[in-house]
Amino acid sequence: MEKNNWQQPLLKRTDQDTESHPAMIDIPKFSTVDLRTVVPLLTDMLVLYSALTPYRSFELHNLFGQLLLQLQNGMRKSSPHARSYILGEKVASYLANHLEQPFDSGEMERELHYHFDYLARCLKQYSGMSPLQYRHHLQIERAKRLLKHSELSLIKIGEQCGFQDNNYFTRLFKRQSSYTPGEYRKQYQVFHVDSS
């Protein structure tokens, strides 16, 4: 059986995005389908299509997107690789929710109830990154948001992103963005608070 590649590469986002990013969806030839959710969607789509207007066209696109998601979810649930995909999502969520604490593989194992090596493989399949790479990506993205939208000091921003060592924060930030945090703030800060 062919192994599905469910890797979810993180998309580059900015606060200047005006249109959605291209997306991919796997449509199975054969899969378990929950008719209780799919049949009402198909019925609603037929009703909209019978008297199509520009407004109803938008609703039809929305329902079609829901149908595709239902088909994809059915494929994931019935796949032998479903557990690794779900665990990849759980590891990604765990890392996002624990950015301020020091990275602790043992704590991750205890909370998610799997060996760290297996969790790391699942995250790699899901995102293309190791847990530390994924954590660093999340930390730098949070730092960018804080640099753009707050007046917090660079040290406070580093701490809120889980960096106890400000020099390490600066080096990692520059490696991933080609700016130091201070340079990034000067370049991209959205507003300035006047203290006078």
pTM of this structure = 0.63
Return the CATH class of domain 133-188. mainly alpha
**Two tokens, residue 173:** 């930030």
Mean pLDDT of successive 10-residue stretches along the chain, which has 196 residues: 52 62 66 81 92 88 88 67 81 92 92 94 89 94 92 92 92 92 88 58
pLDDT attached to residue 56: 86
List the beta strands (DSSP E) in the chain. none
**Two tokens, residue 68:** 């595709």
**Domain boundaries along the sequence of the chain:** 35-78, 82-130, 133-188
Q: At 161, is the secondary structure helix, strand, or coil?
A: coil
Q: At 179, is the secondary structure helix, strand, or coil?
A: coil
pLDDT attached to residue 171: 94
Tokens 């900015």 locate to: 14
